[in-house]
Structure 1
């Protein structure tokens, strides 16, 4: 029987960027909803079609030794560029991040740092031919923009304002190298989530799906994921995709909001044949600290994790 690796670790792999909707505070709760036989499977293919910051990815790779193959994907090409560079050439990324970090911390005032930030934002929104420079610029903006958001306008240009962070950790060399060791075993793709159909394993496939959430009211969409709105039509396409994966014998867990429509749960109606559990989660994306309260989210599974 394969069990969790509980050996003590001083430094643990975790996301190298902050990401809207990140699951860092929820990973243990999510892992408690894995299939009851998950640890008994000798070779698991683990897949994330919306990897984002990768909190669940790094947790699963750190805690479950029976995961022998990993597939990740995301629509954000620059985020995936960072994953690929950390996997294949982390020292090159570190070199460019250190250069940016040194330039930034030599600035004395917040006004000077703000000017530097907007210069880097303009640079990012232009053509940067070298992948290492673009990836370093992406991470710098993530570390210094407002609340770690990734948001673009209708023209696809990154438009998040300066965050006035006093001590941003721009180049976390130790974390990058720890993540590098785990990403060696990960196959990395970018594009529509449906691409994972071509990469399913022949045996046990476990797929964690963390798409852009449906707004709680079902009316206004916040475009933090990309300039493409993930509307109700997309949510319904994703449900059909989950049905396809289920028909292929895949085990699925999806996170989403507890969104209401005409007084009833949108997702409980859409996924009426699935198992759904409600969990409590902090929403840290709110600009007003006092409003960052716990809200109910849903876990949608095609298996009964309680085995009841």
Structure 2
């Protein structure tokens, strides 16, 4: 299976580099499973791969980041208007001759994004613009829920590819034989999606990773995602296992930082834990980029 659609956002922990290992470790009876649920959709690499290959009858994608979910909804419902907003933003940015003027424009857009007074289409375009012009393509919020990633000093970024947005919009608009949308988009905490999961569901969990570098961040939203959150997620994973759903979870390998750190090995000791290699390009230092060990945790053996 190959992904027919690539994510158009740059995302810390995005699964493009791990996609082949994820596909290789899907449940053996994947063709018999009707529903797919992804509680932390992010840039959607796994969802887009499976949906573009028509693997399931129904998809539920969710994220607690309401600005990200707004972008998915806008891509589905207002594709043409989103592309037009992005065209204008791109032309304005590229018309600025000095990096100082580009930086000033970036922070003006960031302020507008954080004020949240713009309409949903404009907010979606601002999200994409900031993602492609900020430092390292990170998405990070402070304790007040404000996007606080600094300017990335990009001279001539691509900002967007129209065909990529249209491809994703087409997937999000796919309907079943009853004329109903096959993809449901939710904006809530992972604990609130249990009603959508049953014994005919495959769930892929891609939570904010536990930091594996000193000073590493996981503040995708103002709530953060600390070890207590990881434990709550394990409890939810346990509950969904008892429902009979097939489950896969990815996370960082704590042993990268400390060879004796068995946090996840102990947390998920009831389940199958594999260490796989993934390339990571988002790092403040070039020496920190490259292939590293990550975890794939399943409630089934492959």
TM beyond 0.5: yes
Q: In structure 1, what is the equivalent of residue 272 of structure 2?
A: 275
Q: In structure 1, what is the equivalent of residue 155 of structure 2?
A: 166
Q: In structure 2, what is the equivalent of residue 195 of structure 1?
A: 192
Q: In structure 2, what is the equivalent of residue 124 of structure 1?
A: 113
Distance in 2, matches of 1:262 and 1:241, equals: 27
> For 1:89-134, what per-residue CA distance to the aligned partner results, in whole angstroms no more than 9, with x for missing partners?
1111111111111111111122211111111111111132311111
User: Is 1:70–1:186's contact at 8 Å kept on the other side of the alignment?
Assistant: yes
Distance in 2, matches of 1:126 and 1:264, equals: 41
Q: In structure 2, what is the equivalent of residue 214 of structure 1?
A: 210
Gaps of 5+ in 1: none
Q: In structure 1, what is the equivalent of residue 146 of structure 2?
A: 157
Residue 54, structure 1, aligned to residue 44, structure 2:
yes
Distance in 1, matches of 2:72 and 2:273, equals: 31
The residue matched to 1:198 in structure 2 has which SS?
helix
2:260 equivalent among 242, 258, 263: 263
Distance in 2, matches of 1:189 and 1:295, equals: 31
Q: CA deviation at 1:282?
A: 1.9
Residue 19, structure 1, aligned to residue 14, structure 2:
no
Q: In structure 2, what is the equivalent of residue 31 of structure 1?
A: 23
Q: CA deviation at 1:66?
A: 3.5
Distance in 2, matches of 1:15 and 1:176, equals: 9
Q: In structure 1, what is the equivalent of residue 226 of structure 2?
A: 231
User: Is 2:5–2:164's contact at 8 Å kept on the other side of the alignment?
Assistant: yes
Q: In structure 2, what is the equivalent of residue 108 of structure 1?
A: 97
Distance in 2, matches of 1:168 and 1:70, equals: 32
Distance in 2, matches of 1:211 and 1:120, equals: 28
**Given the two structures, how large is their TM-score scaled by the length of structure 1?**
0.90
2:59 equivalent among 30, 47, 70: 70
CA distance 1:246–1:206, change in 2 (3 Å): same
User: Is 1:75–1:190's contact at 8 Å kept on the other side of the alignment?
Assistant: yes
User: Is 2:17–2:280's contact at 8 Å kept on the other side of the alignment?
Assistant: no
> For 1:151-187, what per-residue CA distance to the aligned partner results, in whole angstroms no more than 9, with x for missing partners?
1222221111111223322232111100111112310
Distance in 1, matches of 2:254 and 2:130, equals: 31
CA distance 1:275–1:223, change in 2 (3 Å): closer
Q: CA deviation at 1:220?
A: 5.2
Deviates more, 1:25-34 or 1:258-267: 258-267
* Two-structure CA RMSD over aligned residues (Å): 1.8
Q: In structure 2, what is the equivalent of residue 91 of structure 1?
A: 80
Distance in 2, matches of 1:88 and 1:267, equals: 39
Q: CA deviation at 1:16?
A: 2.2
Aligned residues: 292
1:140 equivalent among 123, 129, 136: 129
Gaps of 5+ in 2: 174-181
